[in-house]
C-alpha cells in the first residue's frame, strides 16, 4: 500500500525499525521452522490463559504458520518476521508457564537467537527500540492521514469521533 501511494521509502524505514531490513530469506525460514516446532508444542501444552492465547492454537495455525510461510514464498520474508516474532513471543509465555522446566532451555535459546537477529537482545535494546517506535509514530499518523485524505470512502477515527461528539454519542 505504501508503494501505491509513493511512500515505499517509509516501508523500508519500518523494516529497519523492526530490525529486519537486511535479514536473509534463509534466516527467516530458519526462524519459521523453529517457530513451527515451538508453536505445535505450545498449542498442545497451553493451559494458562493470557492475552492472545487463542493465537496459539490449531485454529490459528493456518494464519500464523502457513500465512508466514506464504509471505516468505511470495518474497515478503522481512515482513513475515513481524508475525514470526510476535508468535514466538506468545509461545514463550506458554513455555515459561506451562512447559516442564527441563524443556524450556532449548526454546529460550531459540528465542535469544530471534531477538538477537531483531537487534534487541537485551532489555536496554528493547527500551531503545521502544523509544524509536515512539519517535516514528507522528510520521505514521501523518501518512495515514494523507492516505485517508485521498480516499474519501475511508473515514478516519478522528473524524468519526468528532461526528459522534457532535451528535452527543460520547456524552
Other C-beta atoms closer than 10 Å to the C-beta of 86 total 13
Query: What is the C-alpha to C-alpha distance for residues 91 and 41, in angstroms, rounded to an integer?
Result: 9
* Pairwise pLDDT comparison (156 vs 119), residue with the higher score: 119
Domain boundaries, the chain: 20-118
**96: pLDDT strictly greater than 60:** yes
In this prediction, residue 131 has a pLDDT band, given cuts at 50, 70 and 90, of very high
Residue 170's pLDDT is 47
Given a contact cutoff of 8 angstroms between Cβ atoms, the answer to whether 55 and 64 are in contact is yes
**39: pLDDT strictly greater than 80:** yes
Residue 74, CA atoms < 13 Å, CB-side half-sphere: 9
Q: Taking the mean position of all CA atoms in its chain, how far away is CA 14?
A: 12
Q: For all residues of the chain together, what is the average pLDDT?
A: 89
Length of the chain: 171
Residue 161's pLDDT is 60
Amino acid at each position: 500500500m505504501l508503494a501505491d501511494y509513493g511512500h515505499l521509502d517509509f516501508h523500508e524505514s519500518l523494516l529497519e525499525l523492526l530490525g529486519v531490513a537486511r535479514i536473509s530469506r534463509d534466516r527467516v525460514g530458519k526462524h519459521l521452522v523453529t517457530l513451527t516446532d515451538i508453536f505445535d508444542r505450545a498449542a498442545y501444552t497451553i493451559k494458562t490463559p493470557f492475552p492472545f492465547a487463542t493465537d496459539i492454537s490449531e485454529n490459528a495455525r493456518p494464519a500464523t504458520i502457513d500465512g508466514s510461510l506464504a509471505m516468505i514464498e511470495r518474497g515478503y520474508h522481512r515482513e513475515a518476521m513481524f508475525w514470526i516474532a510476535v508468535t514466538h513471543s506468545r509461545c514463550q509465555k506458554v513455555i515459561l508457564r506451562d512447559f516442564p522446566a527441563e524443556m524450556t532451555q532449548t526454546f529460550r535459546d531459540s528465542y535469544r537467537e530471534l531477538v538477537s537477529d531483531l537487534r534487541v537482545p537485551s532489555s536496554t535494546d528493547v527500551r531503545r527500540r521502544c523509544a524509536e517506535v515512539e519517535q516514528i509514530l507522528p510520521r505514521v499518523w501523518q501518512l495515514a492521514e494523507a492516505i485517508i485524505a485521498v480516499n474519501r470512502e475511508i473515514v478516519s477515527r478522528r473524524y468519526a469521533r468528532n461526528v459522534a461528539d457532535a451528535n452527543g454519542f460520547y456524552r
